[in-house]
Structure 1
Amino acid sequence: MPQTVKTRRVFYIPGYDPIHPRRYRELYRKEGAAQGDISGYEVALKPKQTKGAYGWRVEGSIEGGETVADVEVLVWSDIVQDSMDLGVWATYQQMVITAWRYIGSGALWRLMRLRKGPVVAALYPVVFLVVQLLLALLVAAGIGWLISLWLPAWVGLLGLGVVPPMLHWFKKQDNKILAYYLMHDYSYSASTRGSNPPELEERMSEFAARIAEVLEGDADEVLVVGHSSGAHLAVSVISDLIRAGKVKPGGPVLSFLSLGQVVPMVSFLPEARRLRADLRYLCQKEELTWVDVTAPGDGCAFALCDPVSVTGVAPDEGKLWPLVLSAAFTQTLSPERWAELRWKFFRLHFQYLCAFDNPGDYDYFKITAGPVTLGQRFEGRHPSASRIEAPVNKFTSVTQ
């Protein structure tokens, strides 16, 4: 395949992640070197040489071509951090509201018809938070019983005083359990019943403006990568760009790579009209190539679920995207590596950004630093035969 890309601009939109974006640079550096050793190519990281909050340059020597890619992280971790800045009791209140939003709307049962893995992941923080509360109450009851052996029974109620410090202690251990983190993640969209909070809409407008600026430049390809919940942000950002006429003939090729997407967790909520409209719009546009990569081994993603079709907004005719592909972890990771990672669900959710022992046609580093566009790389590729397209969403209304 002849080289068509010498310069590329990559915009990476993270998922709901409060950690500094430098982690993505270090992940790219480490895993890119590992994949290069396995596959016989080179990706060298250099300091950022463009505008933007955070990024790096990649010089790739891949498939006989030499490329330069400037990667920029579109940061919203500050919004994530603010949304997580809640006390213990506020988190329990958040848990009840989130559970009701998904159960009361019927979204939970419909999501389970797609993939049970991400629904189990959503229930995980609920179970752990409830267990932590029950353990604290059990200890309080035991202390109260001991007190009541020597003092009047009502004095035993003082045992309840142990509940707040125990719950605060559990919260301090959450870097190991991630119950609070996941609870905040799922509640962020549920709190607005699927519509984007104002601060997020404002940040997405900034993302669109930044990408639009680069689309005016001379890069051969502008590649937007949306990981996890960053995928549904990217859907709306790119839709806004195309609607505004920012993707012009003769300009850079626009490509969109969604990885480990959890789109249905939002699009199945009643007020997600904006996202549903953008899904319906983007799937018909010839101005871009959209490839969606997931893997059944990723229990946190809606693996091989076509986000447009399952949401129930696919048009009767004219649907072009996304091309749904599987990263097939059980085949692309060695048996030893798969055994090591199989139960590390959060780590597997990031495998799309990492090296594979037995890479198939999906290779993150070839896509971001290789000599051809996303569309050319997967030209003629058939979608995964096991993809899920059945529309199961109850809410299909869109913004006009």
Structure 2
Amino acid sequence: MNQPVQKRAVFFIGGYDPKTPTAFFDRLRKEISRFDTLWGYQTVVSPVQNGGDNAIGTVTIATHAPKDGWSTTTDFSFLCLDEMVLSDFARPLPVRLLRYLWTFADFAISGAALRFLARAWRFGLYFLYPFIMITLFLFAGYAAMKVTFSWFGHASWLVGAFVFGGMLWILGKRWSVSHLMDLWSFSLDFIRGRRPDADALLQRFAEEIVARVRAGSYDEVVLIGHSTGGMLMIDAAARCLSIDSLFPNLAGKVVLLTLGSTALKAGYHPAGKNFRKAVGHLANNDQLGWVEIQCLTDAINFYKTNPVEEMGLKSQVDGSFPIVRTVKIKDMLQPGTYARIKRNLFRVHYQYIFANTRPYWYDFFQICCGPIYLNARVQDFIVGGSRRCKSNVE
């Protein structure tokens, strides 16, 4: 793997967000312009090809480094969850609330929530956040009922219900409570095998991945899952192996990359047997690589955990599987930028897939568009597009 990557394929699943391929790649172009500015590169992104139904969007990214003399072409494909997420958002709010409360009870009674708190207390607080906010809205509604009881008598419960419902509708949307309610409901349904729409979409994506890799003659293929997409991409990668057991041999190197992954919400749940089976399928393949990137500053991940070991599985691969690396977001960004975003939970969580403003060994667009293989970059903490530049981190 000493030769630079000249042709790469990236397949990407993001979090539980209503984002179309057009919107995703518009943002990607803006981030690539920052990437070019930082490194002095010249990158061109093609128009989006979406196959007519917006389920999978693809662009070709051509990156050239005039000073270093290398060029790399990347076919970047994005799996769109937009239709599925928006259909969840379209349910009546009372239905969404009841589904969420059932979901919360399931995670609590099953013991999965306790494992969140025991192994990653920040993630545990993230899990509790929607429930805490709903409880506060409920208290506000109860207070309104008590205050208005002398005016309306027993009918004051209508005032309380109105206050609770209004806060959930308005503040719940503004503070991402309703979004997270649906995310957790979706996650539980996926874990318990109750999302045929997600299964069909992931199967289609896996078939597309295998077909494109067979036809592409790629030096490297990177399967990337961010946030909830980490859980979904693990499932998709296992499906690729089921479609073709020789899938990892179809390119120079095939690597799974999970960024700020929340996959252990499935791995810890007693009902996640099929998911753990999928992880075991990956762990028993000695040709497929897996890199897991985690961060302390980001609350929405399981910091300093090995997902395979946490699920009680053993890998047949020599050495650590996956390769787990922790990153420091403050080292990726200029001090002013970091100071501005560090208290924004979701903005910090998205930095994994945004452009850096300072040179650092972890750089999403160097991974996707640069000449260095992912395994080499994370093993040697290579900074930028040259093996001569290494970080002084451990």
**TM-score range relative to shorter protein:** 0.7 to 0.9
1:284-310 Cα deviation digits (max 9, x unpaired): 323222111121110111123211112
Aligned to 1:269: 269
Q: Which runs of 5+ in 1 are unaligned?
A: 148-155, 388-400
Secondary structure of the residue that 1:304 maps to in structure 2? coil
Letter in 2 for 1:159: S
Aligned to 1:67: 72
Equivalent residues in 2 for 1:1-400 (5 A)? Answer: 3-48=3-48, 51=51, 53-62=56-65, 63-147=68-152, 156-170=153-167, 171-191=169-189, 194-195=192-193, 197-217=195-215, 218-243=217-242, 244-247=244-247, 249=249, 251-315=251-315, 318=318, 320-379=320-379
Please give the root-mean-square deviation of Cα atoms over the aligned residues, in Å.
Answer: 2.6
Letter in 1 for 2:284: Q
Letter in 1 for 2:177: A
1:71 & 1:193 partners in 2: Cα distance? 28
Q: Is the 8 A contact 2:34 2:357 kept in 1?
A: no
Higher helix share goes to which structure? 2
2:19 & 2:213 partners in 1: Cα distance? 28
Query: May I ask how many residue pairs the two structures share in their alignment?
Result: 376
Letter in 2 for 1:229: T
1:241-300 Cα deviation digits (max 9, x unpaired): 123325164545322211110111111111111111121221232322211112111011
2:321 & 2:224 partners in 1: Cα distance? 15
Q: Is the 8 A contact 2:234 2:278 kept in 1?
A: yes
Compared with structure 1, are the counterparts of its residues 211 and 193 closer, same or farther at alpha carbon in structure 2 (3 Å cutoff)?
Answer: closer
Q: Is the 8 A contact 1:6 1:68 kept in 2?
A: yes
Shift in Å at residue 191 of structure 1? 4.1
Letter in 1 for 2:70: G
Compared with structure 1, are the counterparts of its residues 365 and 65 closer, same or farther at alpha carbon in structure 2 (3 Å cutoff)?
Answer: same
Q: Is the 8 A contact 2:46 2:60 kept in 1?
A: yes
Give the TM-score taking structure 2 as reference length.
Answer: 0.87
Compared with structure 1, are the counterparts of its residues 335 and 139 closer, same or farther at alpha carbon in structure 2 (3 Å cutoff)?
Answer: same
Shift in Å at residue 168 of structure 1? 4.1
1:370 & 1:253 partners in 2: Cα distance? 15
Shift in Å at residue 182 of structure 1? 0.7
Compared with structure 1, are the counterparts of its residues 207 and 179 closer, same or farther at alpha carbon in structure 2 (3 Å cutoff)?
Answer: same
Give the TM-score taking structure 1 as reference length.
Answer: 0.86
Q: Is the 8 A contact 1:283 1:320 kept in 2?
A: no
1:105-152 Cα deviation digits (max 9, x unpaired): 1111111121111111111111111211221232122222223xxxxx
Q: Is the 8 A contact 2:220 2:252 kept in 1?
A: yes
Of all paired residues, the percent bearing the same amino acid is: 23
Q: Is the 8 A contact 1:195 1:273 kept in 2?
A: no
Q: Is the 8 A contact 1:283 1:319 kept in 2?
A: no
Compared with structure 1, are the counterparts of its residues 283 and 13 closer, same or farther at alpha carbon in structure 2 (3 Å cutoff)?
Answer: same
1:50 & 1:64 partners in 2: Cα distance? 32
Letter in 2 for 1:8: R
1:77 & 1:248 partners in 2: Cα distance? 29
1:316 & 1:99 partners in 2: Cα distance? 35
Q: Is the 8 A contact 1:118 1:302 kept in 2?
A: yes
Compared with structure 1, are the counterparts of its residues 49 and 105 closer, same or farther at alpha carbon in structure 2 (3 Å cutoff)?
Answer: closer
